[in-house]
Amino acid sequence: MIRKRIRWLSIMLLLGIILLSARLMQLQLFQTESFSKHKINLIEESVAQRTQQLVIDEGRGQFLDRNGKPLTFQEKNVLVLFPFLKRMDWPVEEVARIIHVTPEIIETKIEQAKGPIVFGGKEAFQLSEEQMNEINGLKIQGVFAVTRKFKSGTIPASQLIGITGENTEEFHERYPDRVKGIHQKIGVTGMQEIFDEWLISEEQSKLIYHVDANGGPLFGADVKYLAPANPFYPLNVKTTIDMDIQQALEEVADRYKIEKGGLLLLDIENSQILADVSRPTMKSSDPFSGGADNYMLKALAPGSVFKTVVAAAAMDEGIVDESRMFNCDEGIYGAPAEKPHGMINIKSSIAVSCNRTFADLAKELVVKDPYSLEEYAGKLGLLGDIAWKGNVFHYEEFSQLPVSKGRVFVSDDERKDLNYIAQTGIGQREVRVTPLGLANMMATIARGGEKYMVNAATSIDYQNGTSMFSFPRKKMEGEKITPFTAMKLQQYLRGVVNSPEGTAPYLDTALYPIAGKTGTAQTGKESEGRELYNKWFAGYFPFENPKYALVAVNMDVHIDEGGIYPIFKDSVDAVHKLRE
């Protein structure tokens, strides 16, 4: 009986030893970098428990403007101090002399420190190269002058660039073969999300030293600098944004207190986004409180700007020329117009934005071909694959931007209703287009009908600045309007600004000659018992030698508020001052 108990006890002990051994092997051999369903890197976590460290660079790739200026971070030369200095006798007076502070200030900061610190915190002052060399020349262990990357407090074109966040489950769902995901930042919105695979960190750059249980140096005051072994990584994305123009247009939006809406500026020759301003502003502390949406990529009600599409279709199809007259004393249903203009032709109809003209033309076009308005919106680069799309490495049909799909009608039944068609012809009812699409339409007209996809990035670059992949200018597929129609549209859009009857004579005082189209769209919303509108101006400039296409929209404003012309003019003048 005793022998039997001993045998069972021995078996139980043996099983226990086997299970413990298996567990140890799991922890130390098989799942050291990807333990449990949370994919915990045990090596990193064990190092973190017995070290104090200061991250110099989190290792994620960054976004640069078209000239290579950083958009998402700032580099500062700063003084780094380690807390073990409080237990040492070191020449604090020398360091204080170099940075022009008293020794007592430095000593106080070190006494308060529980880990390595950047002297001055987030507001750390910039050390000169001479100060850095002098500090590092002292060779004091625990005192370093380094160049550190700080996340920019205000990121230009913040909604376009997007945000990052830590989400371990999402990281491993996207990248199941990668093990370093426990504290890895990933792109959540915008270009941060779209370009995420090329930007994720391989390894942080940091200053590190080992500590005992009390926080004291474990192996003496020996600080090590750890950095990625590959000097070509992380990769950076060079955007098309012009930092100076972006900031100038941000100032215009703030000056006119745009609460919802924004500005989008394209380089016509290269079809590149130079500035993307969306309001409300995104709060870095709470980005999803209402400011994360990029309204420049959202499909919105355009109002009369859409009449440009109707005019292009009618001229291209031979339905209208300048000899045909329209009764602009009447509204779209025959009742007296609010602003009568008499019998006028297509040129004057665009200048005064006559609703009757475009309601009649839309009905003729849709009766002839139910899909004609969509087709011509595509021919103008307003609808379709607007953002750059193509094959990038293993990605097929990679798209640079999350652009909303626009529309003209929502059902075939609407195409059969003449009242629906009439309202659609003046940009109301269910018509929805993006500011990006409208800017691209204006650029297409300015180029004589040539339509291109819009670029937000020009290349993915190695850390040394050489290109790993470039995004060339690409034509949009499909048919386009005739050069004659494009030429006529150029003349008519100029008349909106410089003709006596035009709706936007205020813009003729801008520093560049402008061509474009106004729009006031009903939104179906109310505030304080009054209807709200989207106010638009979409155009290009200079008229004779077009370089820029610009769209401005002030959303959800009362009819007597939120004037769009001063916003557009000041934006044009800001570009002129920077470029001329």
Give the domain CATH number at 71: 3.90.1310
Angle subtended at Cα 375 by Cα 396 and Cα 276, rounded to the nearest 5 degrees: 60
Angle subtended at Cα 400 by Cα 395 and Cα 404, rounded to the nearest 5 degrees: 115
Any domain includes 188: no
The DSSP H or E segment spanning 51 is: strand 51-57
- Confidence (pLDDT) at 175: 81
Note whether 253 and 230 are same-domain residues. Answer: no
Note whether 209 and 255 are same-domain residues. Answer: no
3-state secondary structure at position 231 = coil
- Confidence (pLDDT) at 213: 58
Look at residue 218 and tell me whether its pLDDT is greater than 70: no
- Confidence (pLDDT) at 170: 83
Note whether 548 and 512 are same-domain residues. Answer: yes
Catalytic residue among 158, 278, 304, 571: 304
pLDDT band (50, 70, 90) for residue 42: very low
- Confidence (pLDDT) at 104: 93
- Confidence (pLDDT) at 348: 97
**What single-letter DSSP state applies at residue 239?**
E
Give the residue among 386, 375, 359, 401 at the shortest CA–CA distance from 443: 386
Beta bridge partners of 548: 267, 541
Look at residue 29 and tell me whether its pLDDT is greater than 60: no
What average pLDDT score do residues 558-576 get? Answer: 96
Most confident of 182-191, 192-201, 436-445: 436-445
Cβ–Cβ under 8 Å, residues 441 and 380: yes
Look at residue 44 and tell me whether its pLDDT is greater than 60: no
pTM: 0.87
Round to the nearest angstrom and report the end-to-end CA distance of the chain. 103
Looking at residue 299, its amino acid is A
CA distance readout (Å), 221 to 52, 82, 103, 205, 386: 12, 9, 21, 19, 58
For the chain, what is the domain count?
2
- Confidence (pLDDT) at 142: 86
Cβ–Cβ under 8 Å, residues 292 and 163: yes
Number of C-alpha atoms within 13 angstroms, CB side, residue 386?
Answer: 31
pLDDT band (50, 70, 90) for residue 40: very low
Any domain includes 226: yes
Cβ–Cβ under 8 Å, residues 546 and 518: no
Look at residue 46 and tell me whether its pLDDT is greater than 70: no
- Confidence (pLDDT) at 208: 77
What average pLDDT score do residues 483-500 get? Answer: 97
User: How many Cβ atoms are within 10 Å of 113's Cβ, its own excluded?
Assistant: 17
Look at residue 492 and tell me whether its pLDDT is greater than 70: yes
Note whether 233 and 339 are same-domain residues. Answer: no
- Confidence (pLDDT) at 275: 98
Any domain includes 170: no
Q: How far apart are CA 416 and CA 153, in angstroms?
A: 53
pLDDT band (50, 70, 90) for residue 123: low
Question: What's the Rg (C-alpha) of the chain?
Answer: 31
pLDDT band (50, 70, 90) for residue 428: very high
Note whether 405 and 529 are same-domain residues. Answer: yes
Q: How far apart are CA 328 and CA 344, in angstroms?
A: 7
Any domain includes 260: yes
pLDDT band (50, 70, 90) for residue 205: confident
pLDDT band (50, 70, 90) for residue 87: confident
Q: How far apart are CA 263 and CA 246, in angstroms?
A: 10
Note whether 145 and 251 are same-domain residues. Answer: no
3-state secondary structure at position 14 = helix
User: Which domain does 217 fall in, by range?
Assistant: 45-149+203-238
Look at residue 267 and tell me whether its pLDDT is greater than 50: yes
CA distance readout (Å), 134 to 77, 79, 127, 142: 13, 12, 11, 15
User: How many Cβ atoms are within 10 Å of 500's Cβ, its own excluded?
Assistant: 7
Note whether 220 and 354 are same-domain residues. Answer: no
The overall average pLDDT reported for the chain is: 88
- Confidence (pLDDT) at 501: 92
Lowest pLDDT segment from 64-73, 137-146, 279-288: 279-288
3-state secondary structure at position 19 = helix
pLDDT digits (tens, 9 = 90+) for 331-387: 999 898 888 999 999 999 999 999 999 999 999 999 999 999 999 999 999 999 999
User: How many Cβ atoms are within 10 Å of 295's Cβ, its own excluded?
Assistant: 23
Any domain includes 115: yes
Structure tokens at 331: 């509204």
Note whether 230 and 340 are same-domain residues. Answer: no
Task: Specify the higher pLDDT residue, 164 or 483.
Answer: 483
Cβ–Cβ under 8 Å, residues 252 and 246: no
Any domain includes 32: no
Beta bridge partners of 557: 533
Cβ–Cβ under 8 Å, residues 311 and 350: yes
Percent of the chain with pLDDT over 70: 90
Surface-to-core class of residue 47, CB atoms within 10 Å of its CB (0-12 exposed, 13-18 middle, 19+ buried): middle
- Confidence (pLDDT) at 318: 95
| Beta-carbon contacts of residue 230 (< 8 Å; ≥ 6 apart) | 202
pLDDT band (50, 70, 90) for residue 43: very low
Give the residue among 288, 279, 212 at the shortest CA–CA distance from 252: 279
Note whether 223 and 307 are same-domain residues. Answer: no
Structure tokens at 369: 């071909």
Give the residue among 567, 579, 501 at the shortest CA–CA distance from 535: 567
Note whether 249 and 232 are same-domain residues. Answer: no
Cβ–Cβ under 8 Å, residues 522 and 557: no
Task: Examine the residue annotation and report whether 304 is marked as an active-site residue of this protein.
Answer: yes
Give the residue among 502, 473, 44, 114 at the shortest CA–CA distance from 269: 473
Any domain includes 189: no
> Residue 561's Cα: distance from chain center in Å?
28
Task: Specify the higher pLDDT residue, 100 or 230.
Answer: 100
Look at residue 30 and tell me whether its pLDDT is greater than 60: no
